Chain A
Amino acid sequence: MHFSPIPMHIPDGFLSLIVSIICWAITASVVGAAISKTNKALGEKQIPLMGVMAAFIFAAQMINFPVAGGTSGHLLGGALAAIVLGPWAGMLVMTSVIAVQALLFQDGGLVVMGANILNMGLATAAVGYGLYRSMAGRSKSAKLAAAGIAAWLSVMTGALLTSLQLWLSGTSDLQLVIPSMLGVHAVIGIGEALITTFALGFIFQTRPDLLGEESESAKASSGWVYVGGLIAIAVVLLSPFASTDPDGLERVATDMGFINTSQSAPYQLIPDYAIPFLGNTNLSTIAAGIVGVIVVGLVALLIGRGMKAKS
């Protein structure tokens, strides 16, 4: 039995109770919304469909392919589940998968499960579906390219959220955890992107009706484009900001009252930080981030255009 340990399942003990509870609150309300939405759309059919789909994601995570030097790429599935089933159903499916991984295999803790569901189930589904949906009405290749980028970004979103939670709990140092988590997951995300794209390509060929425009509008409203887009922009903005100017983020956490939750957090490293200069550095990093978003967006757009012209 090969379960590749994914360095994203947080075990119990690594998050402070406050962070765990906040994450549970967010997760519970989103999952609650997902339950009522899918209930309306699918009725009594949802239980067998989503139960088997959850087992599918679980089993699909075992499919791997050798990359190089003994490492292998494999699927996490958040983006794929959201794209083929719609965001709400995808979230429920991922929630069940993560719950079973924690309950049965201790892959991730119980009290921190809210955080794990948020990172690997809800955020990945929102980003994955939102970016994919933004290509509605375009060619198949544009959709597939968007799905690949969406899958990669969904993994990065999960990694960034995990890093932030670890840092807020006083478990890791921000300057170190963000670059290392994002670095590792930038590579893992490539495997995710490739499998998601090729799997979707296969479904497009054999059962195009499942991914057609009518079934797309039945799955969820186009408002998801904004949700996914906003989260993606936040990730792209926050990542360089957090790794180049962690003190700014620490100040935000202080203002929000997190400073007292972890007994002796790394904020005390530089007690007399020169705040007057903070504004300038913040501005410049945000500007750099915006430039990054524009570049990524342009590249995505160009790829989409190029593929549209071809097909």
Chain B
Amino acid sequence: MHSDAFDRYHEKNSFIHRLDPRVKVVITIVFIVSNALLPDGAWIAFGAAWLFLLLTNWLSQLGFGYTLKRSIVALPFALIAITILFTMPGEPLVSFKLLMWNLTITDMGLLRFVSILIRSWLSVQLAILLVATTRFPDLIHAFEHLRVPAILTTIIAFLYRYLFVLTDEVFRLIRARESRSAAATGRRSGGGVLWRARVAGNMAGQLFLRSYERSDRIYNAMVARGYSGHLFTLNPHEMKARDYFVTAFAIAFIFILQVIGRL
């Protein structure tokens, strides 16, 4: 498998790419928190937040619509909020009959539903931009600097490294299952649901054992190379004047967003 199947990083040499990963992580989290704090129907603030996104998209040289295209990932979850359309008390807007229910969309319900969607849509876009402009190891390193326990970040770094190896393993298992499951066209092969679940379960068990034994080999290889519980990096990050300036600017902008949203 190609190693870029999971990687969301886009190699560019833009202003955003060159920023310290810590700066990008902090700004992303502050931006998402700010979205969560904006009241329902703060349209001007939502618009300004979107302008902020357009600016960062442009600065990252990925194109204005880059994050827009990828932001649909959070949409399926909107289903869970759809009930708020009908249950919020407020002035009725539209009434219709669906199967056996009489449904009425209220103005307050619509306001809240649209606000939730916009908040989520804005938040996910900056998160997308974060991973598109930061290499994953750098991102992990940034979290370590931000006082996330080193054990956790190292486990995540290992997860990322062996993700590709183990998904390769899964694809081999799936390919093997497919080649065993030959069937005449239009006819199903194999047994019932339980039988299929058993095959899948055996695959998961097989994968577990292969991974478990692999982790043993990896550990031994690491010990042989002098591993004693700490991982070192040759890529130290340094905050430059530009990084402090960008952080201050972004936080001031987000603060103004909050003021606009509450006017």
Chain A positions near chain B (C-beta within 8 angstroms)? 1, 5, 7, 9-17, 20, 31-32, 35, 38-39, 43-56, 58-60, 62-68, 73-75, 80, 84, 92-93, 95-97, 99-100, 102-107, 109-111, 166, 170-173, 175-177, 180-181, 191, 194-203, 206-207, 210, 263-264, 266, 268-269
| Contact string against A for B residues 216-247, beta-carbon threshold 8 Å, 1 for contact and 0 otherwise | 10110010000111010000000000000000
Residues in chain A near residue B108, CB distance under 8 A: 264
Q: Most chain-B CB neighbours within 10 Å: which of A1, A12, A64?
A: A12
Contact of A53 among B40, B79, B84, B212 (CB under 8 A): B212
Bound-state Cα–Cα, A104 to B160, Å: 10
Q: A13-B120, A35-B152 are in contact. Are A60 and B170 (CB under 8 A)?
A: yes
Q: Is B33 an interface residue (CB 8 A)?
A: yes
Q: Are A194 and B194 in contact (CB under 8 A)?
A: yes
Contact of B218 among A52, A60, A73 (CB under 8 A): A52
Q: Are B201 and A198 in contact (CB under 8 A)?
A: yes
Q: Are A172 and B81 in contact (CB under 8 A)?
A: yes
Q: Is B68 an interface residue (CB 8 A)?
A: no
Q: A51-B158, A263-B40 are in contact. Are A10 and B77 (CB under 8 A)?
A: yes
Q: Are B202 and A199 in contact (CB under 8 A)?
A: yes
Q: A60-B208, A203-B205 are in contact. Are A170 and B200 (CB under 8 A)?
A: no
Bound-state Cα–Cα, A263 to B55, Å: 31
B29 to chain A, nearest CB (A): 6
Residues in chain B near residue A11, CB distance under 8 A: 74, 77, 120, 123-124
Q: Are A58 and B163 in contact (CB under 8 A)?
A: yes
Q: Are A13 and B122 in contact (CB under 8 A)?
A: yes
Q: Are A111 and B155 in contact (CB under 8 A)?
A: no
Q: A17-B36, A43-B229, A194-B194 are in contact. Are A199 and B204 (CB under 8 A)?
A: yes
Q: Are B5 and A12 in contact (CB under 8 A)?
A: no
Question: Interface of chain B, helix or strand or loop or mixed?
Answer: helix
A145 to chain B, nearest CB (A): 14
Q: A55-B159, A111-B33, A199-B204 are in contact. Are A12 and B119 (CB under 8 A)?
A: yes
Bound-state Cα–Cα, A58 to B214, Å: 16
B262 to chain A, nearest CB (A): 12
Q: Are B128 and A106 in contact (CB under 8 A)?
A: yes
User: Can you list 29 A-B pairs with a CB-CB distance of less than 8 A?
Assistant: A1-B5, A11-B124, A13-B74, A13-B121, A44-B228, A47-B158, A48-B219, A51-B157, A51-B159, A52-B158, A55-B163, A56-B212, A58-B163, A60-B170, A62-B170, A62-B174, A64-B200, A96-B159, A99-B152, A99-B156, A103-B127, A106-B70, A109-B124, A110-B29, A110-B32, A172-B84, A175-B87, A198-B200, A264-B40
Q: Are A46 and B151 in contact (CB under 8 A)?
A: yes
Bound-state Cα–Cα, A199 to B32, Å: 39
Residues in chain B near residue A59, CB distance under 8 A: 163, 166-167, 169-170, 207, 211
Q: A173-B83, A173-B87 are in contact. Are A73 and B202 (CB under 8 A)?
A: no
B253 to chain A, nearest CB (A): 18
Bound-state Cα–Cα, A20 to B35, Å: 13
Contact of A177 among B83, B118, B162, B197 (CB under 8 A): B83
Question: From A166, which residue of chain B is reached at the shortest CB distance?
Answer: B80
Chain B positions near chain A (C-beta within 8 angstroms)? 5-6, 8, 28-29, 32-33, 35-37, 39-40, 70, 73-74, 76-77, 79-81, 83-84, 87-89, 108, 112, 116-124, 127-128, 131, 136, 139, 149, 151-152, 154-163, 165-167, 169-170, 173-174, 193-194, 196-209, 211-212, 214-216, 218-219, 222, 227-229, 231
Q: Are B155 and A109 in contact (CB under 8 A)?
A: no
Bound-state Cα–Cα, A197 to B89, Å: 46
Bound-state Cα–Cα, A94 to B59, Å: 35
Residues in chain B near residue A47, CB distance under 8 A: 151, 154-155, 158, 229, 231
Residues in chain A near residue B29, CB distance under 8 A: 110-111
A29 to chain B, nearest CB (A): 12
Q: Are A17 and B33 in contact (CB under 8 A)?
A: yes
Residues in chain B near residue A266, CB distance under 8 A: 87-88
Q: Are B124 and A55 in contact (CB under 8 A)?
A: no
**Other than the known A5-B76, A96-B152, A264-B108, what 5 A-B pairs have Cβ atoms closer than 8 Å?**
A7-B80, A13-B32, A14-B81, A44-B227, A51-B154
Residues in chain A near residue B203, CB distance under 8 A: 63
Q: Are A107 and B73 in contact (CB under 8 A)?
A: yes
Q: Are B123 and A13 in contact (CB under 8 A)?
A: yes
